[in-house]
Structure 1
């Protein structure tokens, strides 16, 4: 029997910074630690690597004008992105294991708000972040994308630099059996085809509830099977309750669900792997203890069984 192949991502950055006592407030969110105490960012990266993550994500999600303001972004955006990239790169390189760094490229004009999208402004913001991140990252992660237009803008900003491009969409947290769709209302099937068109090497779903992920994986698998594609699939869910439709991610400190501890999250992750996920990690509210549980049961045990 061949060895199973599964890539473990890290978990959420902002909530972990808050939990360990880093400077943390609105509107800066996770960017505040970069501005005032970057050693905390390094601590979080190290914790995730120790827990088993083999892809860590730069702390660049909040380095957009929505969080740090227009003036500070204009004067320091690229420098802060460079710092975020360097901190992740240093943590990966010092670990002694093979850890890749994913350059986080967030929705430029507001998470969960495809209605606020502006092509020209979004592309300009991402290009500023890319200048700082590019020397340090192994791959690009366009994450929490709410619409196909957002995804296209990120791809345009990156250009063709030879680094792998991972594309991650956030989904409507469906309370019913409705077909999976992006927060823009666009169908999952269309998003999967666009991922192929844009040359993504992985299609992921993040910053949505665990309950929303399985149907998206299955629908994506159907599309990819029809296209005979080997595009990898991945999931990193959040631990939020349902978020109202007009909300912006991180505009307020949402509660964390008490029913998504490490063991419960592992149960969801097992389902995702069974539904075809090649990449698994966590988003907001999923911490190092969750990733450690995934490593123990999805990697360590699986390897033992495969080699028996």
Structure 2
């Protein structure tokens, strides 16, 4: 069974939602690695400390994740060339290594640890928005889209998708997309890779709109026509926003599943980082049953959500870390 067929099978096997991992950068920082302010974020470790990435992936697998996402959210061929002073060929190798590290970790987990009844984990190739490259928090506003065309976005994203697909990612995760224009570009670009499946998740500013102010329902309607998207949804927003967002577009969802992986509810500031609050990540397990009833087939966490929270989510939805049910 090929990887895209495996994903379709998992989504239709009636054993409940796939559990996604949490914030990879969050887990790396929890281990004492400084990422704040780095223009490459966790993707720098593809060059400097690949073992740290594999270890973080492994901790999420041990905690019950069915899907791990590559350390490539903030990775780009241009970014590696600019910030690491490497050749184009080496930059592409680094991008592809994100997939290789994740797949090697899955192989280790399967051979050493995979409990009976657990699905074989899949690898999602993380593709962040253009705003992630800008390092100014604009993936939460989408303001940059006003100065870019659909073709500009396609030119930017093409090397990343090509590299992750060539490296063998099971599917793509287009993450934290803040604008309708960039989402349309990604869906258009996906047609150049007919064997590639993906999910696309938006960043949203409230319970009705994505970050650029477009209605979430309009954004879903724009992208859901793609036969290559296995899921559409939301990531990196407060957990409480998900129910109204999904409700607002409920009539549009047909064969496409929802994907949801919120952050802890804390606020991000590009200068100071995450603003600590009492908003607790335990909201995710608590609300996950509602999202599942709304049609969410992939549920996990984003920033500030670590392995412990993913383990609790799996226990809430499956009853145990070790079983599929």
Q: Which residue among 280, 285, 308 is the counterpart of 1:289?
A: 308
Q: Which residue among 257, 264, 287 is the counterpart of 2:277?
A: 257
Tell me the equivalent position of 1:105: 127
Tell me the equivalent position of 1:151: 183
**Partners of 1:14 and 1:139 in 2: CA distance:** 20
**Partners of 2:242 and 2:131 in 1: CA distance:** 24
1:77 lines up with 2:74 in the alignment: no
- What's the CA shift string for 1:42-75, capped at 9, x where partnerless? 0111011111111110110111489657464873
Runs of at least 5 residues in structure 2 that lack an aligned partner in the other structure: 1-12, 115-119, 133-138
Q: Please tell me whether the aligned partners of residues 265 and 279 of structure 2 are also in contact (alpha carbons under 8 angstroms).
A: no
1:207 lines up with 2:225 in the alignment: no
Tell me the equivalent position of 1:130: 161
Q: Please tell me whether the aligned partners of residues 63 and 81 of structure 1 are also in contact (alpha carbons under 8 angstroms).
A: yes
Query: How many residues were matched structurally?
Result: 289
Runs of at least 5 residues in structure 1 that lack an aligned partner in the other structure: none
DSSP-derived class of the 1:104 partner? strand
Q: Please tell me whether the aligned partners of residues 30 and 59 of structure 1 are also in contact (alpha carbons under 8 angstroms).
A: yes
Please give the residue correspondences for 1:95-244 in structure 2 after superposition, counting only pairs within 5 Å: 95-96=109-110, 97=114, 98-110=120-132, 111-117=139-145, 118=148, 119-134=150-165, 135-158=167-190, 159-172=192-205, 174=206, 180-199=208-227, 200-224=229-253, 229-242=254-267
TM-score using structure 1 length: 0.84
Q: Please tell me whether the aligned partners of residues 239 and 265 of structure 2 are also in contact (alpha carbons under 8 angstroms).
A: no
Q: Please tell me whether the aligned partners of residues 203 and 232 of structure 1 are also in contact (alpha carbons under 8 angstroms).
A: yes
- What's the CA shift string for 1:19-58, capped at 9, x where partnerless? 1123524223212322211111001110111111111101
1:9 lines up with 2:20 in the alignment: yes
Q: Please tell me whether the aligned partners of residues 105 and 154 of structure 1 are also in contact (alpha carbons under 8 angstroms).
A: no
Please provide the CA RMSD for this pair.
2.7
